Structure 1
Amino acid sequence: MAASSSNTTVLLLLIIATSASLLSLAAGRDFSIVGYSSSDLTSTDKLVDLFESWMERHSRIYETIEEKLLRFEIFKDNLFHIDDTNKKAANYWLGLNEFADLTHEEFKNNYLSLKPVNTRRDTVNDSSSSSLSTVEIRSNIPKAVDWRKKGAVTPVKNQGSCGSCWALSTIAAIEGINQIVTGNLTALSEQELIDCDTSYNNGCNGGLMDYAFAYIASTGGLHKEEDYPYIMEEGTCEMTKADAKVVTISGYKDVPANNEQSLLKALANQPLSVAIDASGRDFQFYSGGVFDGHCGTSLDHGVAAVGYGSGEKGLDYVIVKNSWGPKWGEKGFIRMKRNTNKPERMCGLYKMASYPTKSK
């Protein structure tokens, strides 16, 4: 106990003594692509410098010095993991993003909230099962598709600490098909789903995209985001915020599980809601490249697939829109390797995909 107390005191004095001068340096710090340089790992002084700079960059303020010391230790552990991974990974890299002061357990508890079920078709009525797809499925799909370039993807949103990934995934797919059918890219309300779709989904405590599609089809549509803005927490359902719903869907369809050709055919037509396993530690700090790191297939996060293609090294990938803000990954997106030896593909990407249908 005495040795531990002495070490804590020394570190505390070090931080207090250097904080004022380091804060003045933080704003002008020249960050590398991953947010640190090799020299930052060489001494406690440099680590404290880096931590203060990171705090300034991400507007992080801690209420007590004890909390600051705790977060500094977590920050160091994450930094060493990032650096070690970057020395080994060939196709992607990690960086010091806004999650660098969270343990991986804290991160998972706050940001992973998908609530999958054993079988969607037994528990959700697929109201579009007998309808035609919005656009006739192509037999020969393009080599690459990017719905961002086609104007069917809204800017990346940030779910915050609300476990609403299922709602943002649902909305991204509906925004996409609405633009394809009507020509209008309209940001829609995730908050309406969080507040009002409560029969099967659980607001900030998780949900499932198929449930949300069924709800929207049965209730007549969704408000614009500007009419029912996102507040990063559960609110009271206000179905009468606007006089009319602005976007409707006919229903939804499920993509056959673990079938790459079916998924790519569907994705060639429109953005998809997909579920992935994002519980791997590298996901927390993904910064760029084609991700082919360690991950499982226990689905815990809802995202949107918005395209596919091939990288400079010949790596085939799916373009995924995440909901952790534009500072994460490649401006909020991640490219996930799609040609692997597992039928469910990288992080279970092919296990549970679906898309809304919309009549012209």
Structure 2
Amino acid sequence: MASSKPYYLGLLFSITCLLSQLLLSAANPSPSPPSPPSPSCEKSDKEMRFLFSRWMAKYGKTYSCPIEHEKRYQIWKDNTNFIGSFRSETEIFSGVGAFAPQTVTDSFVGMNRFGDLTSGEFAEQFTGFNATGLRAPPPFPIPPDSWQPCCVDWRSSGAVTGVKFQRSCASCWAFAAAAAIEGLNKIKTGELVSLSEQVMVDCDTGSNGCNGGRSDTALGLMATHGGVASEEEYPYTGVRGICDVGKLPFGHSASLSAFRAVPHNDERQLALAVARQPVTAYIDAGAREFMFYKGGVYRGPCSAERVNHAVAIVGYCEGFGGDKYWIAKNSWSSDWGEQGYVYLAKDVWWPQGTCGLATSPFYPTA
């Protein structure tokens, strides 16, 4: 019988070689085959044009000719990409023709009715503060030890009318003034009346109607005549018309005798004033982040040196995880921002306040 020793030696040698190869492979693994590229998150032009048509239908948009249509589509597409750049997800759309809010630090952005406008066109049509010839009364400081609650929201007290829409008339200054007078009238009489912005647009010669103006001159005009007509008596048209002078001294639905200026660049004084009634404020609303604001506490970008818009400050509080904020009523319809409102960061380190809101606040007096 032949010896089995050579057989066992060969088997041992084979096992040793196999183990060596396995150990070598473990130490130096072969590169994995490349993963297939992920599908692009960009939508095709056909898909984008379909979504643009749905957006147009939602907001009733029409254009005069194919050239204008294409121009607006390209602007809308650029704004869509701007909004989408703040997402971490690959899908920027939520629902048919709608956009999901996107995080921008503490605030959110999302598509709205202004999607076919550049930021310059938007500012020209939908802001409207004009600082030319600003001659405000001397500031009226409120004693610093006056009563001031930690949170105020005049909406919950029924002192704020529904959010209105100024349309493409740069009359924000009139809407802010009307909101402040509406609040004072409710606090004083217990009755909430929607007041006329149109009487200010038509009759305030210190402003320029749909080409911009100032809330302080509007308040001054209404105080000179002792009050304001209601929206029902003098409805808004969105264009400057001939002043109905008979509505200035008569037919008032709310009265006022004067207005006061909050000390400039002092958020503490602004809070003391807002604790008593709604107050007008000028802000910078020119950034695309503000144009497409959807919610949260807005901290910028914006500049206190180029205020171009007027809003009504109707409250303030601490919330959103401890952040302090002002509640500002806007005039761009209730489908902009937080149902028509913007929450602006409060008590920031620079004295002018977020977007310059503390630079020139005013409030009416009875």
Q: TM over 0.5: same fold?
A: yes
Residue in 1 that maps onto 2:346:
338
Q: Contact 2:265–2:353 at 8 Å: present in 1 too?
A: yes
Deviation at 1:316, TM superposition (A): 0.8
Distance 2:40 2:187 in 1: 49
Label 1:67 to 1:220 Cα distance change in 2 as closer, same or farther (>3 A). same
Distance 1:239 1:293 in 2: 41
Label 1:344 to 1:124 Cα distance change in 2 as closer, same or farther (>3 A). closer
Residue 253 of structure 1: which of 260, 276, 300 is its match? 260
Determine if the alignment matches structure 1 residue 90 to structure 2 residue 66: no
Label 1:66 to 1:225 Cα distance change in 2 as closer, same or farther (>3 A). same
Deviation at 1:341, TM superposition (A): 2.2
Residue in 1 that maps onto 2:160:
153
Question: One-letter code of the match for 2:176?
Answer: S
Deviation at 1:72, TM superposition (A): 1.0
Gaps of at least 5 residues in structure 1 are 1-37
Label 1:75 to 1:211 Cα distance change in 2 as closer, same or farther (>3 A). same
- Calculate the aligned-residue CA RMSD, in Å: 2.3
Deviation at 1:293, TM superposition (A): 2.5
Residue in 1 that maps onto 2:187:
180
Residue 246 of structure 2: which of 240, 244, 254 is its match? 240
Label 1:218 to 1:250 Cα distance change in 2 as closer, same or farther (>3 A). same
Residue in 2 that maps onto 1:357:
365
Deviation at 1:117, TM superposition (A): 4.9
Residues 233-290 of structure 1 show CA distances to partners (whole Å, capped at 9, x for unaligned) of 0011113259522221121111111111101010011000000011112111111111
Question: One-letter code of the match for 2:203?
Answer: C
Distance 2:73 2:107 in 1: 26
Q: Could you tell me the TM-score, scaled by structure 2's length? A: 0.80
Deviation at 1:214, TM superposition (A): 1.4
Question: One-letter code of the match for 1:93?
Answer: F
Deviation at 1:65, TM superposition (A): 1.9
Distance 1:86 1:311 in 2: 24
User: What secondary structure does 2:181 align onto?
Assistant: helix
* Correspondence list, 1:66-85, <5 A: 66-85=67-86
Label 1:56 to 1:181 Cα distance change in 2 as closer, same or farther (>3 A). same
Residue in 1 that maps onto 2:12:
none
User: What secondary structure does 2:239 align onto?
Assistant: coil
Moved over 6 A (4+): none
Distance 2:144 2:314 in 1: 16
Residue in 1 that maps onto 2:56:
55
Residue in 2 that maps onto 1:303:
311
Residue in 1 that maps onto 2:217:
211
Residues 15-38 of structure 1 show CA distances to partners (whole Å, capped at 9, x for unaligned) of xxxxxxxxxxxxxxxxxxxxxxx9
Deviation at 1:162, TM superposition (A): 1.0
Residues 139-198 of structure 1 show CA distances to partners (whole Å, capped at 9, x for unaligned) of 241111110110000111111111111111111000000100000001111111111111
Deviation at 1:318, TM superposition (A): 0.2
Deviation at 1:39, TM superposition (A): 8.9
Q: Would you say how many aligned residue pairs link Structure 1 and Structure 2?
A: 312
Gaps of at least 5 residues in structure 2 are 1-38, 89-102
Q: Could you tell me the TM-score, scaled by structure 1's length? A: 0.81
Question: Percent identity at matched positions?
Answer: 40
User: What secondary structure does 1:269 align onto?
Assistant: coil
Distance 1:241 1:352 in 2: 28
Deviation at 1:115, TM superposition (A): 1.1
Q: Contact 1:204–1:233 at 8 Å: present in 2 too?
A: yes
Determine if the alignment matches structure 1 residue 323 to structure 2 residue 331: yes
User: What secondary structure does 2:228 align onto?
Assistant: coil
Question: One-letter code of the match for 1:234?
Answer: R
Deviation at 1:320, TM superposition (A): 0.3
